[in-house]
Amino acid sequence: MRIAIVVARFNDFVTGRLLTGAREALNEAGLGDADVEVLHVPGAFEIPFAAEAVAATGRIDGVVCLGCLIKGATPHFEYISSACAHGIMAAQSKTGVPMAFGVLTTNSAEEALERAVAGPGNKGREAAEATIEMARLRAMLSGVRA
């Protein structure tokens, strides 16, 4: 099985921790560095493009999408959150490659950090686990081993 992780650099004090959690989960599932491709993008808005592009190569069984949006005083948060969520859904529908939504949408930096703690509560870890499960399901339904 090959998994891609698309991670936003914006709010990297959180996304770096999500990436660590995702890598730990993938490692525990038996996936090493050769099985995991990490793509860094500027922010959450760019995640769907990169996720779709890497999935379209045909060399990936699933994509873990990681980002962090923290609500501010303007409607920008709502626009980016919505665009990111809809973009990831469209990308997985178009390519047929499962993509997990590990993009935090929080009211504060403190809320974001609570979701990026080490261990089982890390949302990056949860997204990686979901990606593995869905890649296996896709493989089973298509009769292909993942």
Domain boundaries, the chain: 3-142
The per-residue pLDDT of the chain, averaged, comes to: 96
pLDDT in tens, 51-63: 999 999 999 999 9
Contact assessment for residue 96 and residue 138, using Cβ atoms and an 8 Å cutoff: yes
**How large is the average pLDDT for residues 118-141?**
96
Q: Give SS3 for 119.
A: coil
**pLDDT over 60 at 146, yes or no:** no
Element (H, E) at 67: strand 62-70
Contact assessment for residue 3 and residue 132, using Cβ atoms and an 8 Å cutoff: yes
pLDDT at 142: 86
**How large is the average pLDDT for residues 62-79?**
95
Element (H, E) at 103: strand 99-106
**pLDDT over 80 at 73, yes or no:** yes
Q: Give the active site residues.
A: 76
Strand-by-strand arrangement of the 99-106 sheet: 36-41, 3-8, 62-70, 99-106
**pLDDT over 70 at 134, yes or no:** yes
Tokens matching residue 114: 């609570």
**pLDDT over 70 at 145, yes or no:** no
pLDDT band at 143, cuts 50/70/90? confident
CATH of domain 3-142: 3.40.50.960
pLDDT in tens, 3-55: 999 999 999 999 999 999 999 999 999 999 999 999 999 999 999 999 999 99
Answering whether pTM is above 0.85, one says: yes
